[in-house]
Chain A
């Protein structure tokens, strides 16, 4: 099963390497990882999406907790939470599909952030389903490339453990 794990860490060099090394060293897979600062600049927030059975996830959370620089680990599967991801998609539609691209962008509440003779670059934010749906709709029209940020996630107020 897929889990989104939120990890608060000391903002020091080498910490990301410790965390990713923990996964690679034990043969656990990371589907996505995102890191950023928090209100307290000495602390960073990581959001890791990983997959595994209960035993593996238990090991992952315990091993994360064991790292000296890890302050807090929350497996968000256990709490009600919000997940968001951003994607930049560069599409190269034929002339007759240009309107369709703009329409889809609108429907998905995205924005065109760059355009050229042949391409549009679209920015869309949402949960995973929404992003995948848009990508699937744009594929037949012609995606040149896309870049996803990986997930960030946050527990809903009042539900954090």
Chain B
């Protein structure tokens, strides 16, 4: 049978289906009309029309973080394309697989400063894993196949495909390559056996080992292997912000998150360990603090798929390049056959020490009867959802409290912009997550500043019947910045006061969009508001009017060693001190 010729637009749709895409987040415009027209009555591909292209990208990102599969975005040229940049950079920093399709002016006009032309390939070069300008319709199918391949393999990341209007209008045979082989791109999966043995031997020798797990564990799906490793070694585990949930929070070996707002115990463990095993972690500055005093007594072993992550920020004694799941399997194998039993006893002293740190300085806050403490809200969200929600966050104090006071038992339930720290991420990400997991309870833990950065997506949530919940920890300030001003700028609150108690009135905003708005102004109202929000099968804004003075602790001041933590101030006399997570 002769092959039927397809237009570029039809090829794109067919290619997406071959890649098992079911949802595309997008926004139309002149040069992509042809593609949108094809999507209009397509039965298999659902287009979620957002209210801003940035929203579309964060939704695709949220979708990808929940499913592990690339999120897909389709936008028009020029402003449509440039509006995606923050979202793409967010995904790039956190290694999230994504394919962004941007329209482009016809090839003959490229370079002419045509109407709505932007050199999006040039603009996104430093924040995509790879990008393409497709100049011939014959290249379209293989390019899309390649784009997905690159986005999901190796260290995942966003890939952009720029589609000139004439290319999507032209027609050709649909030739779908079954296999992709890019000789200059063959990510290393298996770790060098010799290095794995060396790493295992070092770990087995250690008296104070500590596993530091990062987002790579999630990307690689190596949760079972990580748990097995920790169990074989009986070694404590700390996970970075990117890896919350990659190791069960309830496991006695779990120390919480390290770094700037990490737990006392995780930071002390790093500084006192004699062997630090970095797994899928890139030792970012928010984790290491001052690098030349980081883990001063430890031999550092680092496993990562990306060689550039190794020795970028900290010295590494034993590097292993490879996919985490693969390498940990091998390493566990070596350890199981070689680990001597006597070693367990040495371990106890170290674990005891860690328990002491944990008990002397747990994560805490001062509960108050009069005014709502933001940590209390997060704690109640955890309790009432029984830890089963997918949590997304904005950026600032809300993000840190969400990391500290909600406990993550499972991976891909915690969606937060770790690398770029993008305010406005959490709400659209929650919508994308809800698309990926329609039955899940999805909650964006937000600040009153951040939520206003993509608040327009409430329309997307309502119209598509996506019952996401937003818990606004409303402190009337750009809280995290205010915290820095209080601590390091003599309480000069330069341009961080939002006076947002009623501007806007989040309850009315929710209602204006056809969603539900609830407000709590007293601690006693917190639980009823959460319960009501969770009961409703609709998008809900919960406006928690919180204590604006509250700060995130522990805190490692910028440039200090991670054991130089500012800790919670002395309690007020009448306050009840709750012992939170750990």
Closest approach, in angstroms, between the C-beta of B5 and any C-beta of chain A? 27
Q: Verify A68–B308 contact, CB threshold 8 A.
A: no
- Given A55-B311, A59-B312: A70 touches B121 (CB 8 Å cut-off): no
- Given A58-B311, A65-B307, A68-B130: A18 touches B184 (CB 8 Å cut-off): no
Q: Is B559 an interface residue (CB 8 A)?
A: no
Residue of A nearest to B127 (CB): A25
Q: Is B150 an interface residue (CB 8 A)?
A: yes
**Residues in A1-32 with C-beta less than 8 Å from chain B:** 9-10, 14, 17-18, 21, 25
**Cα(A18)–Cα(B128), bound, Å:** 11
Q: Is B129 an interface residue (CB 8 A)?
A: yes
Q: Is B185 an interface residue (CB 8 A)?
A: yes
Closest approach, in angstroms, between the C-beta of A55 and any C-beta of chain B? 7
Q: Verify A18–B307 contact, CB threshold 8 A.
A: no
Interface residues as binary, A55-73 with B (CB distance below 8 Å gives 1, 0 otherwise): 1001100110110111100
Tell which of B126, B129, B306 touches A21, judged by Cβ atoms closer than 8 Å: B126
The count of residues in chain A whose C-beta lies closer than 8 Å to any C-beta of chain B is 18
Tell which of A18, A58, A71 touches B183, judged by Cβ atoms closer than 8 Å: A71
Q: Is B570 an interface residue (CB 8 A)?
A: no
Using Cβ atoms and an 8 Å threshold, which residues of chain A touch B308?
59, 62-63, 66
**Cα(A63)–Cα(B125), bound, Å:** 14
Tell which of B122, B126, B133, B306 touches A66, judged by Cβ atoms closer than 8 Å: B306
**Cα(A17)–Cα(B133), bound, Å:** 14
Q: Verify B182–A68 contact, CB threshold 8 A.
A: yes
Interface size class of B (residues with CB under 8 A): 10 to 19
Residue of B nearest to A58 (CB): B311
**Cα(A10)–Cα(B129), bound, Å:** 16
* Interface residues of B, dominant DSSP: mixed
Closest approach, in angstroms, between the C-beta of A32 and any C-beta of chain B? 22
Residue of A nearest to B146 (CB): A68
**Residues in A26-80 with C-beta less than 8 Å from chain B:** 55, 58-59, 62-63, 65-66, 68-71
Interface residues as binary, B325-355 with A (CB distance below 8 Å gives 1, 0 otherwise): 0000000000000000000000000000000
- Among B121, B150, B308, residue most surrounded by chain A Cβ atoms (within 10 Å): B308
**Cα(A66)–Cα(B184), bound, Å:** 9
Q: Verify A68–B129 contact, CB threshold 8 A.
A: yes
**Cα(A18)–Cα(B125), bound, Å:** 7
**Cα(A10)–Cα(B185), bound, Å:** 11
Using Cβ atoms and an 8 Å threshold, which residues of chain B touch A69?
184
Q: Verify B184–A70 contact, CB threshold 8 A.
A: yes
Q: Verify B121–A14 contact, CB threshold 8 A.
A: yes
**Beyond A17-B122, A71-B184: 9 further Cβ-contacts under 8 Å?**
A14-B121, A14-B125, A59-B312, A63-B308, A66-B306, A66-B307, A66-B308, A69-B184, A71-B183
12 pairs across A/B with beta carbons < 8 Å?
A14-B125, A14-B133, A21-B125, A21-B126, A25-B126, A55-B311, A62-B307, A62-B308, A66-B307, A68-B130, A68-B184, A71-B183
Taking beta carbons and an 8 Å cutoff, which residues of B are in contact with A?
Answer: 121-122, 125-126, 129-130, 133, 150, 182-185, 306-308, 310-312
